[in-house]
Amino acid sequence: MTTQLVLPQTALPNTNERLPGVFLAACRSEWTKLRTVRSTMWALVFTVISIIGLGVLLSAIVVGHWDHRSLSEITGFDPLLYSFAGLNVAQLSVGVLGVLVMTSEYATGVIRLTFGATPQRRLLLGAKVLTFSIVVAIVSLISCVTVFFICQAMLASKPAGVSITDPGVLRAVLGGATKMVLIGVIAVGVGAIVRHTAGAVAVLFAVLLIIPGLVQLLPQPWNNDVTLYLPSSAGAAMSAVVRFPNLLAPGPGFLVLLAYAAATIGLAMALLVRRDA
């Protein structure tokens, strides 16, 4: 082992950096963190496989059974419903990864180093959200576009395929990717609020999977009215081409999910500043 005593002096930037500079450095740091743990890669690979794999699988089944369909089924057919079936699974892996962005730091104690390096905690959470959002956006967009073209090519043999230039189709493809980003942002916020991986994952899955079922048990017409505004329904509305009666229109669906994301991050920021690390 070395016994070197004198520290080499390195030219270093001053400490009066402006906040945008602090934010960019925090983003770069968060990107380094994300790409240097294995869980990121595995979660993203799982995300891609679920979006593309499930979409292709279900589209293949639809094509195989097309001739047995009734007229009403055919006229009410959303050409993207099966292509984008994998988003329902992928939102869970993106959600877990988003939760881990915060909770793995609490579990390992790294959060103290993070806050020590960037004491501007709200800004730091903003950097985490932006960095993670960009990664999820790129992965989701590539997956959604890919699964769209593969599935529509399969459905084209039946009179069910749509073109990317058809009304509402491009919006639905972008909506599917945007939904994944917003679910990821909500997950980062839940992770920051709950701070424990298991607890945060449980909260997130309850919101996405369990609460929609419970709301259905409410008396009519509350069950359907409330369901419209749940995060899961708002997200589903964003990637639909056909307008379903139990979903909002894509635009309002986007705004509802965006509001959930903003509220979660707002609460997380307020708590991060108040609580001891």
Partner 1 sequence: MIEAKALSKRYGKTLAVDDLSFSVEAGQVTGFLGPNGSGKSTTMRMIVGLDSPTSGTVSVGGHAYSSLRFPLHEVGALLDANAAHPGRRARNHLNWLADSNKIPRTRIDEVLTIVGLTEAAHRRVGELSLGMGQRLGIAAALLGDPGVLILDEPINGLDPEGILWVRHLLRSLAAEGRTVLVSSHLMTEMALTADHLIIIGRGRLLSSGPMADFIEKSAGHHVKVVTPDADALVVLLRDKGATVTVEGPQELSVQGLESRDVGVLSSGAGLTLYELSTQRASLEDAFMQLTHEHAEYQGTTRGPEASRS
45 lies in the site for partner 1, by CB under 8 A: no
32 lies in the site for partner 1, by CB under 8 A: yes
Q: What is the DSSP string of 34-56?
A: HHTSHHHHHHHHHHHHHHHHHHH
Pairwise CA distance, residues 44 & 79, whole Å: 26
Only segment of 2-10, 91-99, 249-257, 259-267 that touches partner 1 (CB under 8 A): 2-10
269 lies in the site for partner 1, by CB under 8 A: no
Only segment of 115-123, 128-136, 175-183, 245-253 that touches partner 1 (CB under 8 A): 115-123
* Alpha-helical segments (H) within the chain: 19-35, 38-65, 71-75, 87-108, 110-117, 121-155, 169-194, 197-205, 211-215, 222-228, 231-238, 250-274
197 lies in the site for partner 1, by CB under 8 A: no
108 lies in the site for partner 1, by CB under 8 A: yes
42 lies in the site for partner 1, by CB under 8 A: no
Q: What is the DSSP string of 140-184?
A: HHHHHHHHHHHHHHHHTTTTT---TTSTTHHHHHHHHHHHHHHHH
Minimum distance, C-beta of residue 198 to partner 1, in the bound complex (Å) = 18
227 lies in the site for partner 1, by CB under 8 A: no
38 lies in the site for partner 1, by CB under 8 A: yes
Please list every residue from 156 through 175 that binds partner 1, using CB under 8 A: none
Pairwise CA distance, residues 98 & 40, whole Å: 10
Minimum distance, C-beta of residue 121 to partner 1, in the bound complex (Å) = 9
Q: Which of residues 33, 69, 158, 171 is near partner 1 by CB under 8 A?
A: 33
Helix crossing, 169-194 with 121-155: angle to 10°?
Answer: 140
Minimum distance, C-beta of residue 138 to partner 1, in the bound complex (Å) = 20
Pairwise CA distance, residues 98 & 95, whole Å: 5
Binding site for partner 1 (CB under 8 A): 1-19, 21-22, 25-26, 28-33, 36-39, 104-105, 108-110, 112-120, 276-277
